[in-house]
Amino acid sequence: MNKNVYTDYFFDEPAFNTHDGGYVALETPTTPQQPLAIPPLAVPDTETSHEVSYTITAQEGEAQLLPGEKTKTWGYNADILGRTIILNDGQDVHITLKNNLPELTTFHWHGLNVSGPIIDGGCHAPVYPGKANKIDFTLHQEAATTWLHPHPCPSTAEQVWHGLAAAVIVKDKHEASLHLPRNYGVDDIPVVLQDRRFHDHNQFDYRADYDPDGVQGPTALINGTVNPYFDVTSQRLRLRLLDGANRREWRLHFSDDLKFTQIAGDGGLLPDAVDLTHLMLTCAERAEVVVDFSGYHAGDEVVLYSDDTPIVHFRIHDFNADPEPLPTHLLDIKPPVVDPATPIRKVVMSGMDESVMLDGKKFNMQRIDAEQPVGQAQYWDVTNTNDMTGGMVHPFHIHGTQFLIISRNGHASYPNEHGYKDTVGVNPGETVRILVRFDLPGVYMYHCHIIEHEDGGMMAQIESYEAGKPRPKYKLMDMETLTKAFAAERGIPISEMWMAGMDSYEKMGMKM
Ligand SMILES: [Cu+2]
């Protein structure tokens, strides 16, 4: 079979974040290499073939990220990031969400097909300090790499910066039948890509680093590890890459321009494996890639770069040859049929810095901006009105569903985005047509996933409803309640409260 090997990043080069006025370049670490941290698996409280229960605790911790003083961090059942959670398609899932942090948080299941606004864990579902909530759902979706992160508006970005993010791996019978690496921690590893700046005493200081276009730091933090290496003991290695950064785009490539194979995107397997030498991820996007080290020998090293900065060193050891090829066809995807009478939904992302908006408005928790019947497939035309001189790629995310990318400015979508997605990078001046269907009724947020942009109001919400049935009354959070709670937790008057996203509203003379 004659297979293309794609060698470019697909996205528009003039819009890369390297051209931002506020761009912070990654620096090559000067500290010694250390083993890449592999998040341990979360241990279920109980598990049977059809049911699983977990307790997930958001907690304070400290982590040895640099030599010298430890860094104060937050994590899920961990000092930083979180234990990896495994869920199976078809399972009844019960999760106790415990908040041991000093302030309220929410538990957002990014990429899971669950109902909003409470189970989904957006801004309407706070868990207060010292308290716990319980969520129950039955999972129906393809095997995928999804993730958990906080989503309390407008403090999502700062809470993620503290370290809250965990991989959530969905498994299913189809994926399990394919010849793919899946020995967790050995030949199948999550790779959470983040960046931070270390201040005095090796601490993070979100406010000092604040930039309304997205906070960045010069040090790559991979699975919470500075300057990591990984010992390769298998011919093939499956990397579950997650752009877990607040703003940074990752432009990934290996030394020797080693070819790798992308097998999955955000929401599951691609229909067909795609061979690449370069891969760009925008915020919140995932890609599962398989790297084949058969051309290397024990003692060799292969380096993963983002732009020109080395971020992970793969140290090759002896491994057993695996002569069986990877499958080329991975998943049959049948796009849902769209009734031609269904109007096309227009969504517009505009502005930069404090002026970011969605459909000309800033987010309001109490306002439902759109509605769509459950089960009805609809095209959404998502436009980024930034222009190519100084504009940026805005990663567009919808909660509670996985969509298909139909076209970019009327042209074919990129070859590696033919599977289910929940986040798509939209270039300046571009309209991306996506095909969206909600399987469950609820209220779902949709927004730019540069996290400072969502906190700054580049966000809206949609109600999916069951046609012909009475609509449930959703209890939606309001800013006053949230602000009062944050102020009380911090022990300060509301007038002294600083939450990054609020600046964006105030500078535009708007209320949240
Ligand atoms: Cu944005």
Q: What confidence score (pLDDT) does residue 496 get?
A: 85
Rg (CA), the chain: 22
Give the start-end residues of each E strand in 376-484: 378-384, 394-398, 404-408, 423-426, 430-436, 442-448, 459-465
How far does the centroid of ligand 1 lie from the alpha carbon of residue 217, in Å? 18
- For residues 361 and 352, what is the distance between their CA atoms, to the nearest angstrom? 13
How far does the centroid of ligand 1 lie from the alpha carbon of residue 458, in Å? 7
Domain boundaries, the chain: 5-31+181-316, 34-176, 345-465
Q: What is the pTM of this model?
A: 0.97
How far does the centroid of ligand 1 lie from the alpha carbon of residue 394, in Å? 4
pLDDT of residue 512 exceeding 90: no
Angle at 460 between CA 153 and CA 15, to 5 degrees: 90
How far does the centroid of ligand 1 lie from the alpha carbon of residue 393, in Å? 7
**pLDDT by residue (tens digit) across 276-313?**
999 999 999 999 999 999 999 999 999 999 999 999 99
How far apart are the two ends of the chain, measured CA to CA in Å?
55
More confident residue, 439 or 500: 439
Which residue type is seen at 330? L
Share of the chain above pLDDT 70, in %: 99
CB 90 within 8 A of CB 149: no
Please give the CATH number for the structural domain made up of 5-31+181-316. 2.60.40.420
pLDDT of residue 149 exceeding 90: yes
Whole-Å CA distances, 199 to 28, 63, 203, 443? 17, 15, 5, 39
**pLDDT by residue (tens digit) across 78-136?**
999 999 999 999 999 999 999 999 999 999 999 999 999 999 999 999 999 999 999 99
How far does the centroid of ligand 1 lie from the alpha carbon of residue 67, in Å? 35
Structure tokens at 23: 């761009």
**pLDDT by residue (tens digit) across 391-420?**
999 999 999 999 999 999 999 999 999 999
Superfamily of domain 34-176: Cupredoxins -  blue copper proteins (2.60.40.420)
Q: What confidence score (pLDDT) does residue 327 get?
A: 97
**pLDDT by residue (tens digit) across 248-275?**
999 999 999 999 999 999 999 999 999 9
Q: What confidence score (pLDDT) does residue 509 get?
A: 79
How far does the centroid of ligand 1 lie from the alpha carbon of residue 280, in Å? 16
**pLDDT by residue (tens digit) across 200-220?**
999 999 999 999 999 999 999
How far does the centroid of ligand 1 lie from the alpha carbon of residue 93, in Å? 33
pLDDT of residue 2 exceeding 70: no
Superfamily of domain 345-465: Cupredoxins -  blue copper proteins (2.60.40.420)
Confidence grade of residue 73 (pLDDT, cut at 50, 70, 90): very high
Confidence grade of residue 458 (pLDDT, cut at 50, 70, 90): very high
5-31+181-316 matches 345-465 in fold: yes
pLDDT of residue 1 exceeding 50: no
pLDDT of residue 3 exceeding 80: no
How far does the centroid of ligand 1 lie from the alpha carbon of residue 467, in Å? 33
Q: What confidence score (pLDDT) does residue 388 get?
A: 76
Q: What confidence score (pLDDT) does residue 422 get?
A: 98
Mean of all residue pLDDT scores within the chain: 96
